[in-house]
Structure 1
Amino acid sequence: METTNPRHWSIWLFPIHGTLMRHSIDPKDIPCLDLSHTIREPIHSIAFYYHHFRLLSQTRTQFMLKHCVFVNFQTRYSKEERNSVLAGFAEVANDVPGLLDFCFGANLDFENKSADYGNGFIVTFKDRDALLAYERHPHHVTLGSKLVSMCVGGYDGIIVFDLEV
């Protein structure tokens, strides 16, 4: 088993059929893929690739967060009532430092895979501290309770997905 040194890897290399190939220079100083040094260990997960090739190549050490919330409203609530509660979350944005972006709207569901979750919103935060400040904001807590009461099955009618970007 060959031990690889990350300094031997170029950022433009990609997984090829479950293996990784090391970059080399031929005798005439022309970059090429050296097939004799193919690493035969399969990539076990996207996380492996992400950690070793994307994270190690990044110069920034802090990532933003995308807070994605998808809701399944009870049918008895009108479009105006739904938009009113979602717009209320946008008002919190003015009071939270580090909250960079807020958008909400109806699910267009082009792929017909999430019809139950007809509305949602996405918030971009500078860092985790900003997200925590948003979660603790009194207006957010009040609106959160109202949102839960408006959803099918209460909490079960809400999906929250946080992404590091």
Structure 2
Amino acid sequence: MPSITVLRHVVLFAFKPDASPAQCGEISTEFAALPSRIPGIIDFEYGVNVSPEGLNDSFSHCFMLSFGTTADRDNYLVHPAHQAFVARLEACLDKSLVIDYWTGDPA
């Protein structure tokens, strides 16, 4: 069975200690709205860390977007809706981590 190769864009957020659960929820909701506003996102999912290992280095929220092409991902990065979302993060985000990879890439 052939697999479909997609570009995954994984985003992890660690919120500031004074960020309220409501603020964190609003950020998640706003992020989840981006696929309906930005063309080229073929899949989106997110969740809150539930690992018992304690290795999350204060990152609590994970978001994963999938793109069919590098151009789709690049267009997402500069899209005005994404840029407005990133500007909104400044109030409550402590740090982020982003990793992109192609599925099925053995490298």
TM-score by length of 1: 0.55
Superposed CA deviations along residues 85-119 of structure 1, whole A, max 9, x for unmatched, are: 12212212113232111112211123221141011
Structure 2 match to 1:161 = 99
Structure 2: unaligned runs, 5 residues or longer: none
The equivalent of 1:139 in structure 2 is 81
Match of 1:72, SS?
strand
Q: Distance in 1 between matches of 2:43 and 2:59?
A: 21
Match of 1:94 in 2: 36
5+ long unaligned stretches in structure 1: 1-58
Task: Check whether the contact 1:92–1:134 (CA below 8 A) recurs between aligned residues.
Answer: no
Residue in structure 2 matched with residue 73 of structure 1 by the alignment = 15
Amino acid at match of 2:99: F
Matched pairs, number: 102
Q: Which has the higher strand share?
A: 2
**Residue 71 (structure 2) pairs with residue 129 (structure 1):** yes
CA RMSD for the aligned pairs? 2.0
Cα distance between partner residues in 2 of 1:81 and 1:75: 12
Q: Which contiguous aligned blocks of 4+ residues in structure 1 show a shift greater than 2 angstroms?
A: 95-98
Give % identity: 23
> Is residue 69–residue 158 contact of structure 1 (8 Å, CA) maintained in 2?
yes
Q: Secondary structure at the match of 1:108?
A: coil
**Larger Cα Rg: Structure 1 or Structure 2?**
1
Which has the bigger relative contact order, CA under 8 A and spacing at least 6? Answer: 2
Separation of aligned partners in 1, 2:60 and 2:50: 8
Q: Which residue of 2 aligns with 1:110?
A: 52
